[in-house]
Amino acid sequence: MRDPDAAVGLRLPHLLLALAVVAVWGSNFVVIKAALEDLPPLLLAALRYAFAFLPAALLVRRPAVGWRRLAAYGGLIGVGQFGLLFIAMRDQISPGLASLVIQTQVFFTIGLAVWLNGERPLRHHAVGLLLAAAGVALIAWRTDGSATGLGLALVLLAALSWAAGNLVAQRGPRVDMLAFVVWSSGFAVVPLLALSWVIEGPDAMARGLATAGPMTWAAVLWQSVGNTLFGYAAWGWLLARYAASEVSPLALGVPVFGMTTSAIVLGESLPAWKLAAAALVMAGLAVSVLGPRLRRARPPGPAPVPASAPAPPTPVQRPSDTGDPP
């Protein structure tokens, strides 16, 4: 049942809960970087999803969806998104920039929906895309070593895979997203372990497991329990009580927490060009996500449309998903 106060915004305790989730998702990029000090990227991703699947699968009932859908989501998000993201974050892109660039999944989601589902993009989507593209181009053009061309390309591919996963999750009837994530996680473990064996090698896997200390394992559990289970449970609980338009825009704070945490904990520099790139990407995301609300809030124009004029067709809007964890 939705909260009766949803029309006027989140109640303070619920707003604080949403901000806690956003803070966990944003700060997780620094946690990922810490875990990568000991563990190879693909092995780290496999461990993340192994602990997200078990023991939670023993406590959470499997959602009423087909195995193929669960496998597709697990492969796209576990292998495609996080496998590529972890490889990039090993030494190709800083945590702060990764938390920013990965949010381009919003535009990939819209683009895939237009291509595959025949949906019509709206004007604010195009404006938002141009702003965000300018920010990403600035990162690629002028860097202080925080990102390489390969790192930027890998994170953009990770964002594309995240977007494809969004479409898989949106197909069919709505399900408990926490259960969906838990059970789909099992399908990511075996491919990630196989890829780690082939690409990273058994020696690197064994060496990573042998050198991983308590802080590394805490970082793995933080991603599995805090980032995935707590994040999805709390976010899903909020979406069940409030309109998505009230909750989803708060996820725009993920790169804010990501860049701030990276600057404080890891000393990542924030020169003017990087702040400008962040501003462009964030502005693009805000326009794309909040465009309908801003358009409704705009005062009416001075000249009404004549009654004899035909009404323009109403485009179909599919809200983009900005609530998935990083």
60 is a domain residue? yes
Please state, for a pLDDT cut of 90, what percent of the chain lies above it: 37
Pull the structure tokens for residue 80.
């495609």
In a domain, 307, yes or no: no
Asked if residue 211 belongs to a domain, the reply is yes
What sign has the CA pseudo-torsion 125, 146, 214, 87?
A: positive
Tens-digit pLDDT profile for residues 25-51: 889 999 999 999 999 999 999 999 999
- On whether residue 36 sits in a domain, the answer given is yes
The tens digit of pLDDT for each residue in 81-103 reads: 999 999 999 989 989 889 888 88
Indicate whether 201 belongs to any domain. yes
Q: Is 131 helix (H, G, I), strand (E, B) or coil?
A: helix
Tokens linked to 4: 């009766």
Cα(142)–Cα(102) distance, rounded to whole angstroms? 18
Q: How confident is the model at residue 311 (pLDDT cuts 50, 70, 90)?
A: very low
DSSP 142-196: S-SSSB-HHHHHHHHHHHHHHHHHHHHHHSSS---HHHHHHHHHHHHHHHHHHHI
* 232 Cβ neighbours under 8 A, 6+ residues apart: 177, 178, 181, 325
DSSP 5: T
- Give the pLDDT band of residue 295 (cuts 50, 70, 90): low
Alpha-carbon distance of 157 to 176, in angstroms, equals 27
**Cβ neighbours, 10 Å, residue 138:** 18
On the question of pLDDT at 72 being above 90, the answer is: yes
Please check whether residue 156 lies inside any domain of the structure: yes
Residue 46 vs residue 175, higher pLDDT: 46
What integer best gives the mean pLDDT of the chain? 82
Confidence of residue 318 (pLDDT cuts 50, 70, 90): very low
How many folded domains does the chain comprise? 1
Mean predicted confidence (pLDDT) in 158-164: 91
Give yes or no for residue 118 having a pLDDT over 80.
Answer: no
Q: How far apart are CA 293 and CA 69, in angstroms?
A: 32
Q: Which domain holds residue 262?
A: 24-295
Mean per-residue pLDDT for 46-58? 92
Residue 304 included in any domain: no
pLDDT band (50, 70, 90) for residue 75: very high
245 pLDDT exceeds 80? no
Asked if omega into 249 is within 30° of 0 (cis), the reply is: no
d(CA 136, CA 12): 35
Closest CA to 186 of 56, 81, 65, 59: 56
For 182-237, how does the pLDDT look when each residue is reduced to its tens digit (9 = 90+)?
999 999 999 999 999 999 999 999 999 999 999 999 999 998 988 888 888 888 78
| pLDDT band for position 319 (cuts 50, 70, 90) | very low
Has residue 264 been placed in a domain? yes
* CA dist., res. 223 & res. 52, Å (int): 8
Rounded CA separation 323/169 (Å): 12
Please state, in angstroms and rounded to a whole number, the distance separating the CA atoms of residues 181 and 166. Answer: 12
| Residue 271, phi-psi category: left (phi > 0), alpha (psi -120 to 50), beta (remainder) | beta
What would the mean pLDDT of 312-319 be, rounded to a whole number? 42
**pTM given for the model:** 0.81
